[in-house]
Amino acid sequence: MRVAFFSDIHANLPALEAALEDARARGATHLVNLGDVVGYGPEPAECVARVRELASASVLGNHDAAACGLLDPRRFNAFARETAERAALALDAEARAWMAALPYVVEDEGFACVHGSFEAPERFHYLETKEDAAISLAAMPGKPLLVVGHTHLPCVYMEEGGAIRQLPPEDLRLRPGARYVVNPGSIGFPRGDRLTADYLLYDTVTGLLAFRAVPYDLAPYRLALVRNGYNPLNYWFLSPSARRRRAELAFRKPSRASDAPLSGPFRPRRRKGLPRTAWALLALLGLLLLGVGVALVAFRERPATPATAHAEAPAPEMGLLPPLADWTLSGGAIAGNDYVLAPARPRVTTSGALTSGLITLPKGARRLRLAFAVEGVPADGLRYSARVLFLRDNGTQRKDDLHEYKTFRDCAYTVDVPEGASRFRVCFDFLTPVRLTLSPPCLTVIE
């Protein structure tokens, strides 16, 4: 038989359907769910229904446990807690009861499955190192294949001859006498560089393991987020500029002592002559001195010109135009050039962003009306969000949402100015590529 192992679907129905279609096309006869059907994504009820309909076996994930009341969601970070609570509200009593009855471990003749680690599976530990793999292998003697999830990252550990080593997550054939710990990755919430629905296909007759990475259309997922009241800005893989936040999303405190850094005696080796690092430092020092000399010459020869400030450029991977110059209030209106948002060439992604230049606030203003003149809006409207970023003289910032994904027609907002704010900028994020002419805003002081 051929078994498809799905893990960490996370309420992403388009990714689940794409993976199911791929598994059928490759002759999968059984589906095993490794947990976390819900959480993060916008369609938990639909995904639970599909898994209940098709899966031969399922294990409980930590997000599943939170959604059905077996785990306190306050243990999660704010984003995970909010989506787990929303999943609980979206599921009916029958779906929650099905989740609550799921086992932590599923065993077959040739393999065993768990969401996190086979050591205390109810604690949902991450299996991330060779040491973690060794602990799980010791907890399940006699099983040649252990399949886990939870980390969202495909990986393979192999034990052979008493030694454990990590292999690249590539297709392989199980060796007689060897034992394996395998993670297929995530169907619906990637944490690596691939924006695909990842799963594992296992042929029990030939012993072949195939890592599948199935591309799917992100547009239906994005629309489902908006339709169900989720903020797409929280999903790094929907916005290239948000990929810098991946480390923040994945951060967690150590859950046990083995996660902490190890220390030991340090015995430096003796070298003859200067070490390589010393030569590198000397070379770097020489380059720095040369750069200082060139800068001094250029500074003396350059005529004095008035300095002008500019907004930070959007993230380069967005492929947008250069930033606007700062806008300064003068006579109730702001002078500046029109800004056209248009990719230089067609893009596959359906995201766009526009950041205004910094706007200087009138002194003493506590409430403002901010209005933009917009041209080029499609006849059927445009879905977007807008945020305002206030800056204080001491460098601190505060972000406030203006509108959450409403039709881009009457682009006017009332802005409450926080105490001590001296400047602000407005950021727009669009769901689809669009060409707009956005004129500099007009400000009206309300109070």
Residue 390 forms part of a structural domain = yes
Torsion angle (degrees, nearest 10) of CA 407, 408, 412, 414: 50
325 and 420 within one domain: yes
Residue 399 forms part of a structural domain = yes
d(CA 112, CA 422): 60
Residue 328 forms part of a structural domain = yes
Q: Given 233, 252, 271, which residue is the final one in a domain?
A: 252
Q: Given 202, 225, 252, which residue is the final one in a domain?
A: 252
Residue 285 forms part of a structural domain = no
* Residue 23 belongs to domain spanning: 2-252
Report the domain count for the chain: 2
The whole-number pLDDT of residue 331 equals: 33
DSSP 177-235: T-EEEEE---SSS--SS--SEEEEEEETTTTEEEEEEE---HHHHHHHHHHTT--GGG-
Q: What is the CATH number of the domain that holds 439?
A: 2.60.120
Q: What is the CATH number of the domain that holds 78?
A: 3.60.21.10
356 and 233 within one domain: no
The whole-number pLDDT of residue 291 equals: 78
328 and 213 within one domain: no
Residue reference for tokens 């930033």:
323
The whole-number pLDDT of residue 127 equals: 95
**Would you say 109 and 203 are in contact if contact means Cβ atoms under 8 Å apart?**
no
**pLDDT in single tens digits along all 447 residues of the chain:** 899 999 999 999 999 999 999 999 999 999 999 999 999 999 999 999 999 999 999 999 999 999 999 999 988 888 999 999 999 999 999 999 999 999 999 999 899 999 999 999 999 999 999 999 999 999 999 899 999 999 999 999 999 998 999 999 999 999 999 999 999 999 999 987 778 999 999 999 999 999 999 999 999 999 999 999 999 888 888 865 444 444 444 434 333 333 333 333 323 334 445 566 667 777 778 888 887 777 666 655 444 433 333 333 333 332 232 333 333 333 333 333 333 332 222 222 223 345 556 677 777 777 877 776 666 666 666 666 667 777 776 655 555 555 444 455 556 777 788 888 877 777 666 655 556 666 556 666 666
Instruction: Provide the whole-model pTM.
Output: 0.57
324 and 197 within one domain: no
324 and 247 within one domain: no
d(CA 414, CA 402): 8
Residue 277 forms part of a structural domain = no
52 and 141 within one domain: yes
246 and 141 within one domain: yes
The whole-number pLDDT of residue 123 equals: 92
Q: Given 252, 277, 297, which residue is the final one in a domain?
A: 252
335 and 212 within one domain: no
172 and 78 within one domain: yes
Residue 300 forms part of a structural domain = no
225 and 149 within one domain: yes
Residue 224 forms part of a structural domain = yes
